[in-house]
Structure formats: structure tokens, C-alpha cells
Amino acid sequence: MPVLEVICSLIGWLCLYLLFCSTFSQRGPEWNCRLVTLTHGVIIVLLTAYVVFVDGPWPFTHAGTENTDLQIFALAVCLGYFFFDLGWCVCYRSEGPVMLAHHAASIVGIFLALLMGVSGCETCGVIFGSEITNPLLQSRWFLRQLGLYDSMLGDAVDLLFILLFATVRVGVGTVMFYCELTSPRTLLIMKLGGVVMYLLAWVFMVDIARFGYKKTRAKYRKWMENHQLKGTSEEKPVGHADKSD
């Protein structure tokens, strides 16, 4: 168990948060915490992408195998961040029970992978699939704060977020979940952890689908109202001309 690496990771994320707090002192704590979250999302996606797609082994065929040094490093970096973020969320009471359960499950899963020294490849794969949408989620929040969300850019971020979540986290995640369950090397406790993470992914997917439906319906209603107003404004001059005749 790389305790020192995890502690260093936690201290590093905490120091980054304090740096953001001093740099953006006019902003609130959530702004600075989300900057840390955005930074972690970008770094961990790049790191786990290299672990999964370049360094290997392939998680779909080697689930339950012994951890490599690079996998251990990636997991330690991620675990330190989740400790920081969970502590911040509890301190400021900013998240609901579902998100707190996701953080707790992530911490337990990564901790077990590091403690037992196996299943690092599929754990990194799950982290990659879970965090690939995180930068978009944070960008959406920042756009709201800056008053830029109700624009084409905001719509593009939402659309890309929904597509990535559905295809990667749920679609590819289902294949990963099946490979983990059927792998003879994967320990039972890791399979149970996979079940929890997969169920949480579907909870998020249902909420995202509802959001997508409501936003699409609102956009369509607004478009119809604008179309009707445009049609009315075009008809008025014609009616006025008929009366004058």
C-alpha cells in the first residue's frame, strides 16, 4: 500500500486549492474547489488514458492482474484527490447523498486495489470512464457563473457531456462490468465494488436523461414561440395594407 504517495497526493491537491484561494480571493470556496476538480479531471484522464491504452495491460482481457508501477501511481494520485474532495464536500455540505456515496465507493475501490495489489488495470479503466466527462461538468458550472451558459457554447457542452456519459460511462462501462464479473482472476470484493459503481452510473444516467429531456423540450417550446412571433410580425404589414385598400 503506497501510503506515502497517497499522503503526498492529498497534500498536493490541498496546496493547489489554497493557491487558487489566494489567487482568486474574490471568488467563493466552490469556485476554487471546482478549479481543483477540473485540474484533477484533466490530469487523471490523460494519465489513465496512457495507462489503459499505451502502457497496458488491456483491462477487458486482464482484469484482476497484478498492479504495475504506473497503475499504482495513477491510483495514488486519484485517491488523494478523492480524500480531499470528500472532505471539502462534507465540510461545506455541497453535495447530496448520491454524490457522497459515489465518492465513498470510489475511495473504497481504489483503496482495495492498492491494498491488495491487484485489479489496477480495470480500476484505472473505470477512473478514465468516470472522469472523462468531469471537465465538461465543471465547464458547465463555470459557464453558469460567468453568465455564458445560455448560449451555443453551453448547449454544445451539455450535448457532448450527455453523449460521452451515455457512450463511455454507460455503454463501454457495461462491457467493462461484464468483463470484470466474468474474469476468474478478479476477487469477489472487487466484483461487488464494480456492482456498486455500475449501479451509481445508472442513477446518474437517469438524472442526466431527465435533464436532457427537459432541456430539449424547453428549447423546442422556445423555438416554437419565436417561430410564431416571427410569423405574426410578417403577417401584420399585409393585413394593414389590405385595410388601407
User: Mind listing the pLDDT tens digit for each residue in 97-130?
Assistant: 888 888 999 999 999 999 999 999 999 999 999 9
> How high is the pLDDT of residue 237?
54
> How high is the pLDDT of residue 96?
85
Q: Does any domain span residue 95?
A: yes
> How high is the pLDDT of residue 221?
80
- Whether residue 165 has pLDDT greater than 70: yes
Residue 23, exposed/middle/buried by CB under 10 A (0-12, 13-18, 19+)? exposed
- Whether residue 242 has pLDDT greater than 50: no
- Whether residue 244 has pLDDT greater than 80: no
Q: How many folded domains does the chain comprise? A: 1
Q: Does any domain span residue 64?
A: yes
> How high is the pLDDT of residue 231?
62
> How high is the pLDDT of residue 235?
58
Q: Answer yes or no: are the C-beta atoms of 80 and 13 closer than 8 Å.
A: yes
The helix/strand/coil state of 118 is strand
Q: How confident is the model at residue 38 (pLDDT cuts 50, 70, 90)?
A: very high
Q: Does any domain span residue 236?
A: no
Q: Does any domain span residue 40?
A: yes
> How high is the pLDDT of residue 219?
76
Q: Does any domain span residue 245?
A: no
Residue 76, exposed/middle/buried by CB under 10 A (0-12, 13-18, 19+)? buried
Q: Look up the pTM and report it.
A: 0.86
State which amino acid sits at residue 63. A
Q: Which domain holds residue 54?
A: 2-226
**What are the distances in angstroms from CA 173 to CA 5, 94, 169?**
28, 27, 5
